[in-house]
A and B are shown apart, each in its own frame.
Chain A
Amino acid sequence: MRFLASLLLVASVFLLWRGHNEPGGGFAGGLMAASAFVLHALALGPDGARRALRVSPLFLIATGLGIALLAALIGVMAGDPILTGHWVTLDTPGAENLKVGTPLLFDAGVYLVVVGVVLNIILPLMEDE
């Protein structure tokens, strides 16, 4: 179980990452990450999943919306219309010319919102049973 859940989480981040130019993205990635926690909850009960999540799903929603808003406003600070994409090029070992931009940041916000919303719906339903 632990192996499967971790695998799902890694795959979800991969989906988020490649979603910039290929199918995937924050929404699909977020759904997959949420399914990792749901798997956890099915195996060890919703309390265990909440402990594994560490923060409340609502906190994830707030953080995700905040990140998306920030990504939208970065363009404004640079003097462009809202939501304009901006990129910085990083030269890290192993990945030269890595371009990281505000669309990815926005997608990361979407990812967190989706995880938060899905878990906020599913976990209380499981706890009701």
Chain B
Amino acid sequence: MSGLVALPLVVMLASSVAALAFLRYPKIQEAIALTGMVALVGAAGWLLAETWDGEILVLQAGNWPAPFGITLVADLFASIMVMLAAIVGLAATMYSVGTIDADRERYGYYPLMNILVLGVCGAFLTGDLFNLYVWFEVLLVASFVIMALGGGRPQMEGALKYVALNLVSSVLFLSGVGLLYAATGTLNMADLSQRVAEAEADGYMTAVAMLFLTAFGIKAAMFPLFFWLPASYHTAPAPVAALFAGLLTKVGVYALIRVFTLIFTTDVGYTHTIILWLSVATMVTGVLGAVSHNDVKRILSFHIISQIGYMTLGLALFTPLALAGSIFYIGHHIIVKTNLFFIAGVIRRLGGSYELVHLGGLARSRPALAALFFIPAFSLSGIPPLSGFFAKFALVRAAAEEGEFVALAFVLGVGLLTLLSMTKIFVEAFLKPASGEAPAAPASPGFWHYAPIGGLAALTLVLGFAAEPFLSAATEAADQLMEPERYIAAVLGEPQ
């Protein structure tokens, strides 16, 4: 069933084409986009089921054999990521139905959403480094337009920063690809893995690795190249911010994990130590930024940065347990973070502002919303038995086993500060008495707001209370990453 690997991409392209054909009819577009996302969840579920027991599915596009053609590869890690992208895509589309105005819809909001998710899935599934660059561009171009669509001056300003920094990152990425191709003559990642391992250890490959680290580090918002993220995310409408916050930086993290487990593993002592300290710095600066802000969306944006640090920390420790922790963390984070941005959108609807000073009293007027906020917020802080706890626990244990006690101390300290700033939102927006200047007629959120929030909150609970199967899947995916021989054999065929 290797054709299955391309199914998520075909589904997304088909639904974006269909939605584009009905550009003038927003209602039909909504229906098409929702159908497309449901179909994507189905396709991703099928892919996940096929790869669940550790099988690696490989598709040689155009029937050109690897390493000459473009290969699509679905190992367990990629399948998990596609599933997460599908879930978040569906949730964001549902939320958009209740939020996005007709103007944005007529300018192609839904087709662009589909193309964005198409790019994300493509980046997860490709087994070719240059093809990865192409998918990055697909998702970036779509995200540029969505970011700038229908916005006023502040949104344009945010979009401009976002575009500029991401273009710089793309140039670095492309230079790295060029240098790697010049040295090895191949772009197939499995083939690269073997060639780089055979190359002379003269620092060339390490320099190229650093180029990739910088390029993906910008996209993932790692220290010190994160400043574009809080400057741009908070200006976009809630479903857009949620989709970007949940998915886009994680594509950078995915690319980092992929290239630093498959290709650049020859000088782990050097490269992964750099990643370790960058991760720690990312965690700390992110959480300090979050603690110092009072705008819900900005707090959440800084938390993304802080949590990226946790994910790359698992990569830096470079043990199966640590990578399993990273993968579980990514899954937990994507679901929780998207949900928090949705809830921020609802808070804004009810309270008329993102500023904590102007908010209050929501626990009394909307107890259900308070409960729904409680779940992802405290999961994010790592309170057992919610999903964040297991993710952090795996990372803490891995750090202890590797003897990285300084990093471990930072992990725990940052967790405490995360709890502090989540409590701050909870107290200010929900518990403290209303400030009295609430909008005269609050726009009441409806089914299309609560359904995705409730669904994602339920998923968070499942990830927490029934963590066992997900943890074992993350462990299996991590084992695959730590033994690139299996990936290489699947792509290039068994060695003669």
Verify that A and B bind, or say they do not.
yes
Binds A, one of B56-64, B78-86, B253-261, B304-312: B56-64
Binds B, one of A19-27, A29-37, A81-89: A81-89
Please, which residue of chain B has its CB at the minimum distance from the CB of A65?
A: B17
Q: Judge if A115 is at the interface, Cβ distance under 8 Å.
A: no
Please count how many residues in chain B sit with their CB below 8 Å of the partner chain's CB atoms.
17
Q: When chains A and B are docked, how far (Å) is the Cα of A65 from the Cα of B21? A: 10
Verify A65–B13 contact, CB threshold 8 A: yes
Q: When chains A and B are docked, how far (Å) is the Cα of A90 from the Cα of B352? A: 66
- Shortest CB-to-CB span from B490 to chain A, Å, is 15
Q: Judge if A59 is at the interface, Cβ distance under 8 Å.
A: yes
Q: Judge if B6 is at the interface, Cβ distance under 8 Å.
A: yes
Verify A82–B13 contact, CB threshold 8 A: no
Verify A81–B2 contact, CB threshold 8 A: yes
- Shortest CB-to-CB span from B125 to chain A, Å, is 12
Q: When chains A and B are docked, how far (Å) is the Cα of A61 from the Cα of B23? A: 12
Verify A75–B17 contact, CB threshold 8 A: no
State which residues 71-94 of A face B: CB under 8 Å: 72-73, 75-76, 80-85
Residues on A with C-beta less than 8 A from B21 are 59, 62, 66
Verify A61–B59 contact, CB threshold 8 A: no
Q: Judge if B16 is at the interface, Cβ distance under 8 Å.
A: yes
Please, which residue of chain B has its CB at the minimum distance from the CB of A64?
A: B17
Q: Judge if B20 is at the interface, Cβ distance under 8 Å.
A: yes
Contact partner, A80, options B17, B20, B63, Cβ 8 Å: B63
| Interface 1/0 per residue, B11-32 and A, CB below 8 Å | 0011011001101000000000
Residues on A with C-beta less than 8 A from B59 are 81-82
Q: Judge if B154 is at the interface, Cβ distance under 8 Å.
A: no
| Interface 1/0 per residue, B95-113 and A, CB below 8 Å | 0000000000000100000
Verify A61–B61 contact, CB threshold 8 A: no
Please, which residue of chain A has its CB at the minimum distance from the CB of B20?
A: A62
- Shortest CB-to-CB span from B113 to chain A, Å, is 15
Q: Judge if B368 is at the interface, Cβ distance under 8 Å.
A: no
Q: Judge if B433 is at the interface, Cβ distance under 8 Å.
A: no
Q: Is the interface of A mostly helix, strand, loop or mixed?
A: helix
Q: When chains A and B are docked, how far (Å) is the Cα of A83 from the Cα of B61? A: 6
Please count how many residues in chain A sit with their CB below 8 Å of the partner chain's CB atoms.
17
Contact partner, A69, options B14, B60, B108, Cβ 8 Å: B14
Q: When chains A and B are docked, how far (Å) is the Cα of A75 from the Cα of B59? A: 13
State which residues 42-69 of A face B: CB under 8 Å: 58-59, 61-62, 65-66, 69
Known: A58-B23, A69-B10, A76-B3. A84 touches B17 (CB 8 A): no
Residues on B with C-beta less than 8 A from A59 are 21
Residues on B with C-beta less than 8 A from A72 are 10
Please, which residue of chain A has its CB at the minimum distance from the CB of B2?
A: A81
Residues on A with C-beta less than 8 A from B14 are 69
Verify B17–A66 contact, CB threshold 8 A: yes
Q: When chains A and B are docked, how far (Å) is the Cα of A62 from the Cα of B10? A: 15
Please, which residue of chain A has its CB at the minimum distance from the CB of B16?
A: A65
Known: A61-B20, A81-B3. A73 touches B63 (CB 8 A): no
Verify A82–B20 contact, CB threshold 8 A: no
Residues on B with C-beta less than 8 A from A85 are 62
Verify B62–A83 contact, CB threshold 8 A: yes
Residues on A with C-beta less than 8 A from B63 are 75, 80-81, 84
Please, which residue of chain B has its CB at the minimum distance from the CB of A72?
A: B10
Q: When chains A and B are docked, how far (Å) is the Cα of A61 from the Cα of B20? A: 8
- Shortest CB-to-CB span from A111 to chain B, Å, is 16
Residues on A with C-beta less than 8 A from B6 are 76, 81-82
Residues on B with C-beta less than 8 A from A66 are 17, 21
Verify A82–B17 contact, CB threshold 8 A: no
Please, which residue of chain A has its CB at the minimum distance from the CB of B60?
A: A81
- Shortest CB-to-CB span from B141 to chain A, Å, is 11
Contact partner, B61, options A62, A65, A82, Cβ 8 Å: A82
Q: When chains A and B are docked, how far (Å) is the Cα of A58 from the Cα of B25? A: 14
Can you show 20 pairs from A to B with CB atoms below 8 A apart?
Answer: A58-B20, A58-B108, A61-B20, A62-B20, A62-B21, A65-B13, A65-B16, A65-B20, A69-B10, A69-B17, A73-B10, A75-B63, A80-B63, A81-B61, A81-B62, A81-B63, A82-B62, A83-B61, A84-B62, A85-B62
Residues of A within 8 A of B (CB): 58-59, 61-62, 65-66, 69, 72-73, 75-76, 80-85
Q: Given contacts A59-B21, A62-B20, A65-B20, could you give 6 more A-B pairs where the C-beta distance is less than 8 Å?
A: A61-B20, A66-B17, A69-B14, A73-B10, A81-B59, A82-B61
